[in-house]
Amino acid sequence: MVRNERSVEGVLERIFRSAKATKTKGDVAKYIPELASVDPDRFAISVCLSDGRQLSAGDVSTPFSIQSVSKVFTLAIALGRRGESFWQRVGREPSTNAFNSLQELEVRQGIPSNPFVNAGAIVTTDTILAGSSPAEALAEILLFVQTAASDSGIRIDPSVAESEKLSGHKNWALAHVLAAYDNLAHSCELTLGTYFHHCAIAMTCEQLARSGRFLAGFDTGPQLVRASSVRLINALMLTCGHYNGSGEFAYRVGLPAKSGVGGAILAIVPGKASIATWAPGLDSNGNSLLGTAALEELSHAMGWSVFVRG
Ligand code: DON
């Protein structure tokens, strides 16, 4: 078993080669038309280590839509506001249904299971909108991501946001159910408009890996969130970050992580590494198929897991 951090590069190369050779890559997300045309053969992996090194393999400089990975950043911002009422509006339990399940929201009478299912993330966006216009809220979210990644060039792709605005019928339905249960302070249009735009943040794999350093506990200059919030976010990423595939992901990889339907995964090894993968093909739960396989191989090769001594 390889445990020496100097060998990360070799492991990444091996992972890249096996990803390229794999025939079963999963299906790209089609319910957002702009994402349906992404090349399923893309693959990238990037690792930021505690000593400041960043090691990568594959298509690491191609921007992609981070989609639900953005929910990690909006949760961090919402928790930073010390909003006492936040946890009265959103649960902290893993979901047993799909990430956009209307049934689950209805059964729970308008209280989403956790901040990472779509309904929970829509409520999170709604809390960030308190006292701000959508443009101001989006500027705050983008600045947070840019600061986390140490890169002021990160942008929102408006065509992806527009595409989801026109085709995201389930999200419109979820927002209306939230409003029906009095769990939305702003209009569905304002809240979803903001939500679609933060999901449409485009980043490269290297930028995404850097954006997770604050969750690994690295000192990267400005302190983005309190240590107590990092602890909560990592706990939720572990238990809810892959929706109803979170148990399987914890079993295989053993790390807090958040997936997005653009094919990204951000995974955290507390104190040791922030890892991003990008492989657009998804499994039946909407999580990246080859990204999960890559993280499984990397975590085993390096002995990285929150469940064993590293
Ligand atoms: O709201 C949606 O459906 C998308 N903007 C984000 C969903 C997503 O990324 C689910 N993750 N795997």
**Residues 72, 196: one domain?**
yes
Mean pLDDT by 10 residues, the chain (310 residues): 66 96 93 94 97 96 97 96 86 96 98 98 97 97 97 98 96 98 98 98 98 95 88 98 97 98 98 98 96 98 93
pLDDT at 4: 53
DSSP single-letter state for residue 27? B
| CB-CB contact of 69 with 264 (8 Å) | yes
**Residues 60, 111: one domain?**
no
- Give per-residue pLDDT as tens, 42-91: 999 999 999 999 999 999 999 999 999 999 999 999 999 876 789 999 99
Has residue 309 been placed in a domain?
Answer: no
CA 99, CA 122: separation in Å to the nearest integer? 12
Domain count, the chain: 2
Has residue 308 been placed in a domain?
Answer: no
Residue closest by Cα to atom 4 of ligand 1: 67
CATH number of the domain that residue 102 is part of: 3.40.710.10
| CB-CB contact of 266 with 274 (8 Å) | yes
Instruction: Using the mean position of ligand 1's atoms as its centre, give its distance from the Cα of residue 166 in Å.
Output: 15
Instruction: Give catalytic status of residue 68 as yes or no.
Output: yes
The one-letter amino acid code at 231 reads R
Q: For residue 200, which atom of ligand 1 is closest to its CA? A: 5
Q: Where are the beta strands (DSSP E) in 134-232?
A: 155-156, 201-203
Token output for 126:
């709604």
- Catalytic residue of the set 117, 243, 274, 299: 243
Domain finish residue from 201, 227, 256: 201
pLDDT at 117: 98
State the average pLDDT for the chain: 95
- Give per-residue pLDDT as tens, 205-229: 999 999 999 999 998 877 899 999 9
| Domain that includes residue 51, residue range | 5-65+203-302
Has residue 254 been placed in a domain?
Answer: yes
Has residue 180 been placed in a domain?
Answer: yes
**Residues 40, 128: one domain?**
no
pTM for the whole structure? 0.97
Name which of 240, 278, 234 is nearest 260 in CA terms: 278
Has residue 310 been placed in a domain?
Answer: no
Name which of 275, 276, 279 is nearest 287 in CA terms: 279
Instruction: Using the mean position of ligand 1's atoms as its centre, give its distance from the Cα of residue 261 in Å.
Output: 5
The one-letter amino acid code at 290 reads L
Domain finish residue from 201, 221, 253: 201
Domain finish residue from 176, 201, 226: 201
